[in-house]
């Protein structure tokens, strides 16, 4: 068939822009359609997590994003008397970045939009509304309404990233199950932060729940629960707004208010994320209360999971069935995030004096148990991605006497691999993903991975576009640099973080996907057989299109990420 483009992305929000950056990095032809004249200029999300920042690193834009963040933003949850019920202050750098960060969404979205200028294969069209959609077994055609009239655009796939009200999802008749909570929220953003403290406060006051957060560049946000009978028009009533803020600042009348908006708390998940050649991502696929700060981040996870799969399929390097693993992998984690968001929303917006009294007693009890207190403080309640199906090879049980009994160790296939700082052969201090390159990676502790590959596996690794990585203690780098095999990246482990990770598990090799998920883990001698299973799970067939080594940034229209 003749296609106008490979992938049509509907919606130039953060998810659509992230997906376009990923696809552009693979040299995929993309058209992004946006009905608005420009990007939305008001903040919606205010928190970006470490997984999302690692995703920005993946597309080569993290250095442009970080200036618009508040790293390690502490949250204090208080009751109506301002007594601290819990503190959330994770200081881990497990994935390379602070776990909690305040941020200014419009500025980060603009970074994502500007990043697309690197790719000749990506076009962004504003004032271009997706007004109709038809598809068959080989293509999907979108009717595009523009100021100059209607036209059609045909692609191999369409991805709806147009938000919770997605017309595409509705046109496909995909259910959007869940609830819209009766409690609404009033958001007030101000410039020239009148408080100035760096932390966030979530107020579980039964008379009226609230939150206030410090954001970059002198911006502060307040969110107040609207009570039954309070109309949305009160958002424009200065007397009402000043009344809400009078207990928060010395003089509400002197605030430099940027914007004020009313929103509803939705908790919904689409019944499916794919219908033929049309996929849903971000808010089009799932929406959740804002309290946990995971709506924006969950959409970025969608894009990271889907991007490499779409690229592999449209480039002819994997079977179409690879796309089906997107929904299979993302659905359960999204539902867990929605449940978490609902729980946190209930925690801070409950107006029942009895239930909030019980809540306060429970919080006090948790505070007296060090292990529970540490779990809350470290944000241990946040579910991390864990994929049990899709492009994941189950971990084999090992009973070799060379290993202790690891029966209580949870297998890590399907989870995110950590990203510590490492050394390269030049002695540079780098994050792991920068030292190894992006894309598929076969990472072996101490061993040269080529020693365990058959000719067939070597060919499969090449088809996959994977980088072979040998990790050694940093002390061994000078010697190992003179003995490393051609085509193998050598990485030193200066702080012993990777050694500790492997020490705790009955494996010495991991196969990492382009989204940093562990596709498989094994012992060195099992690598050849394990890779055969990975190739099957990744739907890599033959013949394959030759691939180029992954790079960190784009040059003209060249792909910058691994081939699949």
Pick 173 or 341 by higher pLDDT.
Answer: 173
- As a whole number, the mean pLDDT across the chain is 89
User: What's the confidence (pLDDT) of residue 350?
Assistant: 66
* Residue range 105-114, pLDDT digits in tens: 999 999 999 9
Question: Per-residue pLDDT averaged across 504-513, rounded?
Answer: 97
Q: How confident is the model at residue 292 (pLDDT cuts 50, 70, 90)?
A: low
Tokens found for residue 67: 């200036």
What sign does the dihedral 347-350-355-361 (CA atoms) show?
A: positive
Cβ neighbours of residue 511 closer than 8 Å, sequence gap 6 or more: 393, 440, 441, 442, 443, 466, 518, 519, 520, 521, 530, 531, 534
Cα-based angle 82, 88, 89 (whole degrees, multiple of 5)? 120
User: What's the confidence (pLDDT) of residue 558?
Assistant: 35
Residue 80 has pLDDT above 90, yes or no: no
* Residue range 128-148, pLDDT digits in tens: 999 999 999 899 999 999 999
User: What's the confidence (pLDDT) of residue 43?
Assistant: 62
- Rounded-to-integer distance, Cα 14 and Cα 106, Å: 9
* Residue range 363-396, pLDDT digits in tens: 777 777 777 667 766 656 567 889 999 999 999 8
Q: How confident is the model at residue 551 (pLDDT cuts 50, 70, 90)?
A: very low
Output DSSP code: residue 299: H
- Rounded-to-integer distance, Cα 413 and Cα 77, Å: 34
Q: Of 552, 543, 550, which is closest to residue 564 (Cα–Cα)? A: 550
Pick 294 or 112 by higher pLDDT.
Answer: 112
Residue 543 has pLDDT above 60, yes or no: no
User: What's the confidence (pLDDT) of residue 559?
Assistant: 37
Residues pairing with 337 in the sheet: none
Residue 61 has pLDDT above 80, yes or no: yes
DSSP collapsed to 3 states, 68-94? HEEECCCEEEEECCCCEEEEECCCCCC
Residue 259 has pLDDT above 80, yes or no: yes
Q: How confident is the model at residue 194 (pLDDT cuts 50, 70, 90)?
A: very high
Question: Per-residue pLDDT averaged across 61-82, rounded?
Answer: 93
Pick 457 or 369 by higher pLDDT.
Answer: 457
Cβ proximity of 86 and 211 under 8 Å: no
Cβ neighbours of residue 396 closer than 8 Å, sequence gap 6 or more: 522, 526
Tokens found for residue 52: 């999302």
User: What's the confidence (pLDDT) of residue 184?
Assistant: 83
Give percent above pLDDT 70 in the chain. 90
* Residue range 299-340, pLDDT digits in tens: 999 999 999 999 999 999 899 999 999 999 999 988 888 877
* pTM of the full structure: 0.90
Residue 546 has pLDDT above 70, yes or no: no
Cβ neighbours of residue 439 closer than 8 Å, sequence gap 6 or more: 308, 465, 466, 467, 514, 550, 561, 562, 563
User: What's the confidence (pLDDT) of residue 113?
Assistant: 98
- Rounded-to-integer distance, Cα 403 and Cα 440, Å: 28
Residue 475 has pLDDT above 90, yes or no: yes
Question: Per-residue pLDDT averaged across 246-254, rounded?
Answer: 94
Ramachandran quadrant class, 45 (left: phi over 0; alpha: psi -120 to 50; beta: rest): beta
User: What's the confidence (pLDDT) of residue 182?
Assistant: 66
Q: Is 270 helix (H, G, I), strand (E, B) or coil?
A: strand
Pick 159 or 396 by higher pLDDT.
Answer: 159
Cβ proximity of 214 and 102 under 8 Å: yes
Give percent above pLDDT 90 in the chain. 68
Omega prior to 89 cis, within 30 of 0: no
- Rounded-to-integer distance, Cα 300 and Cα 302, Å: 5
């Amino acid at each position: 068939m003749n296609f106008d483009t490979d992938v049509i992305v509907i919606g130039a929000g953060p998810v659509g822009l992230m997906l376009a950056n990923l696809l552009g990095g693979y040299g995929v032809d993309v058209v992004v359609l946006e009905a608005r004249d420009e990007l939305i200029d008001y903040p919606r999300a205010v928190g970006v997590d470490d997984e999302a920042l690692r995703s920005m690193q993946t597309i080569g834009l993290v250095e442009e994003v970080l200036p618009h963040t508040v790293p390690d933003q502490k949250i204090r949850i208080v009751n109506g008397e301002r007594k601290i019920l819990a503190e959330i202050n994770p200081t881990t750098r497990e994935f390379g970045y602070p776990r909690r960060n305040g941020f200014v969404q419009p500025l980060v979205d603009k970074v994502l939009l500007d990043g697309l200028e690197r790719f000749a294969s990506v076009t962004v069209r504003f004032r271009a509304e997706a007004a109709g959609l038809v598809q068959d077994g080989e293509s999907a055609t979108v009717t595009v309404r523009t100021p100059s009239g209607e036209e059609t655009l045909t692609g191999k796939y369409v991805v709806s990233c147009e938000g919770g009200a997605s017309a595409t999802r509705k046109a496909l008749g995909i259910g959007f199950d869940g609830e819209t909570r009766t409690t609404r929220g009033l958001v007030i953003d101000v410039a020239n932060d009148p408080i100035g403290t760096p932390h966030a406060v979530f107020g579980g006051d039964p008379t009226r729940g609230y939150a206030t957060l410090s954001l970059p560049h002198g911006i502060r946000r307040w969110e107040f629960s609207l009570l039954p009978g309070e109309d949305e028009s009160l958002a424009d009533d200065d007397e009402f707004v000043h009344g809400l803020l009078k207990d928060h600042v010395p003089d509400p009348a002197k605030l430099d208010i940027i914007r004020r908006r009313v929103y509803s708390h939705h908790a919904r998940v689409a019944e499916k994320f794919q219908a033929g050649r049309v996929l849903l991502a971000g808010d089009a696929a799932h929406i959740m209360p804002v309290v946990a700060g995971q709506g924006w981040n969950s959409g970025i996870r969608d894009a990271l999971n889907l991007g490499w799969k779409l690229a592999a399929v449209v480039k002819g390097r994997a079977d179409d069935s690879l796309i089906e693993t997107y929904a299979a992998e993302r659905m359960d984690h999204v539902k867990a995030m929605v449940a978490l968001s609902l729980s946190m929303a209930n925690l801070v917006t409950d107006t029942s004096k009895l239930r909030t009294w019980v809540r306060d007693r429970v919080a006090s009890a948790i505070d007296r148990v060090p292990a529970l207190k540490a779990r809350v403080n470290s944000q241990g309640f946040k579910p991390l991605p864990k994929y049990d199906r899709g492009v994941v090879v189950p971990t084999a049980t090992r009973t070799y006497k060379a290993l202790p009994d690891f029966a209580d160790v949870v297998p890590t296939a399907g989870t995110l691999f950590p990203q510590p700082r490492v050394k390269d052969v030049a002695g540079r201090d780098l994050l792991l993903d920068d030292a190894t390159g992006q894309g598929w990676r076969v990472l072996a502790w101490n061993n040269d991975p080529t020693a365990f590959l058959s000719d067939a596996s070597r060919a499969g690794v090449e088809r996959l576009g994977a980088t072979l990585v040998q990790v050694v203690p940093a002390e061994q780098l000078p010697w190992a640099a003179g003995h490393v095999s051609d085509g193998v990246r050598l990485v030193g482990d200066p702080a012993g973080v990777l050694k500790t990770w492997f020490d705790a598990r009955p494996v010495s090799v991991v196969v990492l996907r382009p989204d940093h998920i562990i596709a498989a883990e094994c012992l060195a001698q099992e690598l050849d057989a394990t890779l055969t299973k990975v190739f099957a799970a990744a739907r890599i067939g033959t013949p394959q299109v030759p691939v180029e080594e992954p790079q960190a940034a784009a040059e003209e229209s060249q792909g910058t990420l691994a081939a699949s």
